[in-house]
Structure formats: C-alpha cells, structure tokens
C-alpha cells in the first residue's frame, strides 16, 4: 500500500509509504490519501498525524515522471485535484499534525501547510522549488505559506526555490516545534496538549483563527462573537464552567 492508516490511542496515524521514491505524490498516493482522510474524518480519532515512511523524507513532492506528457488542461485538472485533497485535509473535523521527518518539498510541504500544525525532526528540509522547473506551486503553497509566515518571507522562499532547514523553519513560525526522536511519538506528545478538549470548541477555535487571514478585522470580530456564542451553548461549555466552579476535572462529551 502507498499509504498506511493506523489507529493508535486517540490518534489516526497516516503514513505515506513510498520510501523508494522519497514518498513522492503520484496518482495512486493522492487517491489513497483521499480515502485515508475520509476514514479519519469518520473515525473516533481526536487528531490526525501524517508522516512519511523511513527517515529521509516526509514527502518529496509531486512525482515529476507523471507530469511531462500532460497538456495544459490536464495539468490544471491535476492541480485542482491536489487542491481538493489539501482542502479536505485542512477542513477535517479533527485537528491535524504534520510530523515532517526529512524532506518536504513542493506538494509535500503543501500537505504539511494544510495541517493544523507542523512539527519537524532536526534533519527536516522544506521548500517550494517549483520555480526551478519553471512552474508555480499548485497544491495551495502560494496561498497557505504567506498566511502562515507572512507575505515577504513566503515570496522570498517561493521565488528563490531555496531549502529551509528545521531551525529556520522554527524561527519563522513555519513549524511549531523540533522533534527529538520518533516523529510520530513527538507529534502525539505535542497533540496531547489539546486532544483532551472538546472537538467542537477546537474546531471553532481553528475556524476563528483561520478567518483572521481572510476577513477584514470588523468581520473577523463579528465571526468571533458568533462562534463564541455558539461555543457557550454547547454542553461541554456548561460542563467546563461547572467543573471550574466545583474544582474538579471536566467530563468532555464533544457536544
């Protein structure tokens, strides 16, 4: 299988499993990832972790061997398919963490950018090198990278096509943490900072913050107030307030 799916504790762990090709994205991997994201969305998992097989690469990007014979229309359709896949990942009803273990270039970095959080092992190297092929990143890189690290930094990385190491990625906010040891275990430890909270409120928080990059301030504040009111009406909010007042641990029901 080109993609492995495992359920471990409260996690769905998805592993891109083409180490002989540095876990590059071909048509088979994209189809398998689409099915894996669907499986995660319909499961009882509280967080998705995605990583790459082996210790060399998270995902080295698109499989270039599948691109050379495409027409312009076929290439656009391929990009749109990739964008739909990344949107599905970004819109999952559970948080997601990319455990970047090694190379994450092109579509590999775009996969990580679609996750809620990104972590990196010390040997991680990331970038959008499409300019070197005379191409524009097409799976969301030109849109998500500036929202995460700012327009000027994103332009410099995209227009130079250069490689960013783990320490720089941490310094510019592209990743949240550098993992020592197992990438998946490090991602689990990181995710347990929030997996104990109710999923409805976590998704409201994600949506509120995401809107900050898309809306004028006054519209974003209105959306925040709407989401705040919705969160207040949940059973988990009532339980959380009661638990605080009674000095006990809250019992979360995701309602």
Can you name the residues that pair with 164 across neighbouring β-strands?
Answer: 126
- What pLDDT shows up at residue 67? 74
pTM of the model: 0.93
- What pLDDT shows up at residue 64? 78
What is the chain's Cα-based Rg? 19
Catalytic residue, candidates 10, 20, 110, 151: 110
Q: Are 119 and 100 in contact (CB under 8 A)?
A: yes
Catalytic residue, candidates 8, 130, 168, 219: 130
Number of H helices, E strands in the chain: 10, 10
> Where would I find the H helices in the chain?
27-41, 72-90, 107-113, 141-149, 151-160, 166-171, 183-191, 199-211, 217-232, 235-245
Q: What is the CATH number of domain 3-191?
A: 3.90.226.10
Q: Are 124 and 58 in contact (CB under 8 A)?
A: yes
Active site residue 110: yes
Separation between Cα atoms, residue 61 and residue 141, nearest integer Å: 12
Instruction: List Cα–Cα distances, 39 to 32, 47, 181, 190, in angstroms.
Output: 10, 12, 28, 22
pLDDT in tens, the chain (255 residues): 799 999 999 999 999 999 999 999 999 999 999 999 999 999 999 999 999 999 899 999 988 777 777 888 988 998 899 999 999 999 999 999 999 999 999 999 999 999 999 999 999 999 999 999 999 999 999 999 999 999 999 999 999 999 999 999 999 999 999 999 999 999 999 999 999 999 999 999 999 999 888 888 899 889 889 988 989 899 998 888 898 899 999 998 988
How far separated are the first and last CA of the chain, in Å rounded?
36
- Can you give the residue ranges of every domain in the chain? 3-191, 199-245
Cβ contacts of 66 within 8 Å, gap of 6 or more = 26, 27
Separation between Cα atoms, residue 46 and residue 195, nearest integer Å: 6
Q: Are 111 and 87 in contact (CB under 8 A)?
A: no
Cβ contacts of 28 within 8 Å, gap of 6 or more = 2
């Amino acid at each position: 299988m080109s993609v492995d799916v495992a359920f471990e504790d409260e996690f769905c762990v998805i592993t891109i499993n083409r180490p002989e090709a540095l876990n590059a994205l071909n048509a088979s991997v994209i189809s398998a990832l689409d099915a894996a994201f669907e499986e995660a969305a319909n499961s009882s998992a509280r967080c998705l972790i995605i990583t790459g097989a082996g210790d060399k690469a998270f995902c080295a990007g698109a499989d270039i061997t599948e691109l050379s014979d495409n027409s312009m229309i076929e290439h656009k359709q391929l990009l749109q398919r990739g964008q739909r896949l990344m949107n599905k990942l970004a819109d999952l009803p559970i948080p997601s963490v990319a455990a970047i273990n090694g190379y994450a270039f092109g579509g590999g970095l775009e996969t990580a950018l679609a996750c809620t959080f990104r972590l990196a092992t010390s040997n991680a190297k990331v970038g959008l090198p499409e300019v070197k092929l005379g191409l524009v990143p097409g799976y969301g890189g030109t849109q998500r990278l500036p929202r995460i690290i700012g327009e000027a930094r994103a332009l410099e990385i995209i227009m130079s096509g250069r490689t960013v190491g783990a320490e720089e990625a941490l310094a510019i906010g592209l990743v949240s943490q550098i993992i020592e040891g197992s990438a998946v275990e490090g991602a689990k430890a990181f995710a347990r900072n929030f997996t104990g909270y109710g999923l409805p409120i976590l998704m409201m928080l994600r949506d509120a913050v995401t809107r900050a990059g898309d809306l004028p301030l006054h519209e974003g504040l209105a959306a925040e107030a709407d989401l705040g009111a919705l969160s207040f009406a949940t059973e988990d909010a009532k339980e959380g307030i009661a638990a605080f007042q009674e000095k006990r641990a809250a019992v979360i029901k995701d309602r």
